[in-house]
A and B are shown apart, each in its own frame.
Chain A
């Protein structure tokens, strides 16, 4: 059991900075997720915590002890790799027992721990098999078993589910969450998949180009994205972004002569400026035609069963807009439907900096 403290952690390869100074405290027992597009530096950051990459500047402390110079083996961590990294020539049992054996744990104790973990993960029947005889999901379990058996104070996950098919991924996601809640071990999880990040993490770090875009709980990120990047990254389908001009006294945004949205809150400082408006597809709803509304010209309709996605053109400038409606709904091409959105669900971002207004 341990907390993790990152203080001004930087990484550069020669003159290229890949991590630009990160401060973060991860509490004991917390499950945090680092999420971002590929190449954002999330894996590098995780590997620095693991001790597989050197830290260019700053400190990493685990359980209060600075570990910058410690070998991975001495950091009391365990890691689950994307491709599992199981030793192909060892049985499942030996894979799980290897680190304990190196540590000089007694044979009986090894046996007890391996069997106990195997039971938790329901891999008891495969202990004598070689990794190549297992399916992807089973290998994934063995990789986790290998990590758990060491009883580390920190778990590190490097995109552990990305090699699984969609159905298995959902199932394993749930299992990882249950397991972490049951064991209560501090966990850092890296993924590029925002759904995984939202469902698993107590807290999320959204990383972009080596900079922290936002830190917060999943709901925080969803409801109050700090930047346009976060707003676009979190949520599926992604948020609609439209350019608009801030109206009189900052009480509305105008898209074209025929379309505008009312705002809640005071934006009078921005009057007359061009801003980026963010609208989540699921927040747009069909309006009562007698109330104030805007209109959408339907182009393509996608039926998901539980929801219907409507892609259409909006305002005179034919801005593209995606709407997510509950249930099965039918529209024909070029049908015009009335839309509205509640003012507190309208997100506004600075057009140049992308910061939330």
Chain B
């Protein structure tokens, strides 16, 4: 900051705090709703300060779920979400590392063809090819399975591109030194490339975990069996049920639980998150 004008600085802080309040207000309301019982949650106006039912509500959502909503207990859905998010994140990282390695470090026929094929996938989010993809998954018998939930979302060009970028910045001399030291391709990959890409892998993991956890349309389509529901889509089932009996305290508790893991990941691994975000988008 150039000039020392306390008033402007004060106003800046004021505006920032005001901004944070606007951004955080919906979450506060969610939290408050999750701490009251069903009776309080139908009296107008709804409370603005927390009540004392937090742990009761927590227990009920985690173990029983919501009456009338066609969804399993939230604890169960959280586990499904976790498995799906992990499979997507780990799977994407694994196949992207391998293909980026091949494209950067080998010269072989059809190299560019493969590169373009991967590039094209960057252009097609699952939403726009949803019907035929659903058919493929149905024909492969992958409906209502973790594989069906994760594998179609695993291939994406962004991760491959990022690793390609990372590999290109690694000096050629390291490969030459490794070859003189007697390391073959796989050994070089394991001993040099992977350790050198560690922070990029971690940053990407943060982004992909959030991406996987927050998937909605795809799980909604391919899971009909309640035991495969993820928590993000479970919310929708609860909202539908809320048309009849609005158990907002339970819905909001579930929302809170559903957003907690990714939000924690972002807040606790902030620097990795920022790194991942800026690197995958450029």
Contacts and interface: CB of A to CB of B under 8 A. Distances in A.
B132 interface: no
Contacts of B192: 87, 89
Contact of A79 (B180, B183, B191, B198): B180
Contacts of B179: 51-52, 71-73
Contact of A81 (B177, B187, B191): B177
Contacts of A72: 176, 179-180
B46 interface: no
Interface in A67-91: 71-74, 77-79, 81-90
A99 interface: yes
Contacts of B173: 81-85
Given A98-B191, A102-B187, A85 B171 contact: yes
A85 B174 contact: yes
A135 to B, nearest CB: 19
A93 B187 CA distance: 19
B181 interface: yes
B177 A79 contact: yes
A311 to B, nearest CB: 41
A78 B177 CA distance: 9
A9 interface: no
B112 interface: no
A2 interface: no
A320 to B, nearest CB: 42
Contacts of B181: 73, 98-99, 102, 146, 150
Interface residues of A, number: 26
A107 interface: no
A129 to B, nearest CB: 17
B136 interface: no
Given A83-B171, A85-B171, A85-B174, A73 B180 contact: yes
A87 B180 contact: no
Interface string B168-198: 0001011011111111000100011001101
A267 B192 CA distance: 63
A150 B182 CA distance: 11
A74 B176 CA distance: 13
A102 B191 CA distance: 11
A77 B180 contact: yes
Contacts of A86: 177
Smallest CB-CB A-B distances: 3 pairs: A85-B173, A73-B182, A99-B181
19 contacts: A50-B176, A52-B179, A72-B179, A73-B182, A73-B183, A79-B176, A79-B177, A81-B176, A83-B171, A83-B173, A85-B171, A85-B173, A87-B191, A87-B192, A89-B192, A89-B198, A99-B182, A102-B181, A103-B182
Interface of B: 171, 173-174, 176-183, 187, 191-192, 195-196, 198
Given A72-B179, A73-B179, A98-B183, 8 more contacts: A79-B180, A81-B173, A83-B173, A85-B176, A87-B177, A89-B198, A90-B195, A150-B181
